[in-house]
């Protein structure tokens, strides 16, 4: 497996610092830009030698954290992850069966909104309408694909993407958006912050062709949404994508997930403390780099504390000092 590594401002002065590799997501998604901005903050603060790396998203980031972290060499894999993926990894479920990931939360970042993206002229209005269409479920084996298949199985009994989709793609959001814009795809699944750059660009390209983006609504009372919320109790919530975000005709009810920035339990407490301190003392830089990061605040940073995945003790110490961990 190959990854694109983005090295941000590494210098000789950082040579003896712990090496922190930050798994993100694909180019075009918020994770990639958020992780790159965090790496830049950490390097400028001089607390670690940080690198942000493109990856397949939450599941791959958690596997790297579990399998590639090497405390003896001072190498720690952190990452941006969805909370249901974090819970799955921590409890040793699904792809982590028998080998749970020893992860800890450093801070909660911002909410992801689930997108089922299509066009107004596609005729797709509910999940069942995806039967017989050309659909992408995102990266193979990723948490978005897992969420998509769970929703579709609740909408169509006996669902099998190889049988129920006319064409089944498993590509990143940027490629999905391009394929839909060019007429080679009817719809795709995505989970990301608002706005997600690739979908914003797609809305613009469709408008220039006289078309309009449509997001399939996922109302709270619908069976698929209830099924996913029961699968991940306390982790999955509901919200609304306002029509002004992508210039859709209507506000769209959908699922929401608060993303977490995670690290291995083996990350030294002093390093974890210094990393969290650096990020939260440089929030304006993060906000300037990534629009959804506006929801990364001290108050929101601890909103996952009631869940099953624990926070790192270094992070807890910082949040106690700031008065938000009570």
Model confidence at 9, pLDDT cuts 50, 70, 90, reads very low
Model confidence at 233, pLDDT cuts 50, 70, 90, reads confident
| pLDDT for residue 12 | 37
More confident residue, 8 or 254: 254
Task: Answer whether 216's CB lies under 8 Å from 238's CB.
Answer: no
pLDDT value at 48 more than 80: yes
* Distance in angstroms (rounded) separating the CA atoms of residues 122 and 133: 9
| pLDDT for residue 16 | 77
Task: Answer whether 215's CB lies under 8 Å from 117's CB.
Answer: yes
**pLDDT tens per residue across span 109-119:** 999 999 999 99
* Distance in angstroms (rounded) separating the CA atoms of residues 150 and 152: 6
Model confidence at 1, pLDDT cuts 50, 70, 90, reads very low
pLDDT value at 304 more than 90: yes
What is the residue-averaged pLDDT of the chain?
A: 94
Q: At 95, list the tokens.
A: 């792809």
Average pLDDT over residues 220-228: 97
* Distance in angstroms (rounded) separating the CA atoms of residues 228 and 224: 6
Q: Mutual orientation of helices 58-68 and 83-90 as an angle, nearest 10°? A: 40
More confident residue, 9 or 158: 158
| pLDDT for residue 326 | 87
Strand, helix or coil for residue 130? helix
DSSP 8-state code for residue 311: B
pLDDT value at 80 more than 80: yes
Average pLDDT over residues 276-297: 96
Average pLDDT over residues 38-55: 97
pLDDT value at 14 more than 50: no
Which residue carries 């938000």 as its tokens? 324
The pTM score is 0.87
| pLDDT for residue 2 | 41
In terms of phi and psi (left: phi > 0; alpha: psi -120 to 50; beta: otherwise), the region of 56 is: alpha
**pLDDT tens per residue across span 188-206:** 999 999 999 999 999 999 9
pLDDT value at 13 more than 90: no
* Distance in angstroms (rounded) separating the CA atoms of residues 5 and 85: 23
| pLDDT for residue 27 | 84
pLDDT value at 153 more than 90: yes
* Distance in angstroms (rounded) separating the CA atoms of residues 187 and 6: 30
| pLDDT for residue 26 | 86
Average pLDDT over residues 60-69: 98
Average pLDDT over residues 3-31: 70
Average pLDDT over residues 138-157: 95
pLDDT value at 10 more than 60: no
């Amino acid at each position: 497996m190959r990854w694109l590594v983005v090295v941000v401002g590494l210098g000789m002065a950082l040579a003896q610092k712990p090496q922190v590799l930050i798994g993100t997501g694909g180019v075009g998604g918020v994770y990639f830009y958020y992780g790159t901005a965090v790496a830049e903050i950490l390097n400028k603060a001089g607390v670690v030698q940080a690198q942000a790396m493109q990856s397949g998203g939450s599941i791959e980031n958690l596997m790297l954290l579990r399998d590639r972290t090497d405390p003896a060499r001072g190498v720690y894999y952190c990452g941006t992850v969805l909370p249901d993926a974090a819970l799955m990894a921590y409890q040793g479920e699904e792809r982590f069966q028998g080998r749970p990931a020893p992860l800890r939360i450093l801070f909660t970042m911002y909410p992801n909104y689930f997108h089922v993206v299509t066009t107004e002229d596609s005729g797709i209005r509910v999940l069942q309408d995806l039967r017989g269409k050309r659909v992408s479920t995102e990266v193979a084996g990723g948490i978005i694909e897992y969420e998509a298949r769970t929703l579709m199985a609740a909408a169509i009994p006996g669902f099998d993407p190889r049988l129920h989709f006319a064409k089944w793609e498993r590509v990143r959001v940027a490629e999905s958006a391009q394929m839909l814009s060019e007429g080679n795809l009817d719809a795709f699944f995505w989970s990301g912050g608002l706005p997600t750059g690739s979908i914003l660009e797609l809305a613009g390209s469709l408008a220039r062709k006289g078309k309009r983006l449509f997001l399939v609504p996922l109302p709270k009372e619908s069976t698929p949404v209830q099924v996913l919320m029961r699968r991940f109790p306390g982790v999955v919530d509901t919200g609304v994508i306002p029509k002004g975000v992508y210039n859709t005709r209507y506000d769209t009810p959908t699922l929401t997930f608060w993303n977490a920035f995670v690290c291995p339990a083996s990350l030294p407490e002093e390093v974890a403390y210094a990393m969290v301190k650096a990020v939260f003392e440089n929030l304006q830089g993060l906000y300037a780099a990534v629009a959804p990061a506006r929801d990364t605040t001290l108050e929101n940073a601890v909103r996952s504390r009631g869940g099953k995945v624990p926070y790192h003790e270094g992070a807890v110490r910082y949040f106690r000092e700031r008065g938000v961990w009570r």
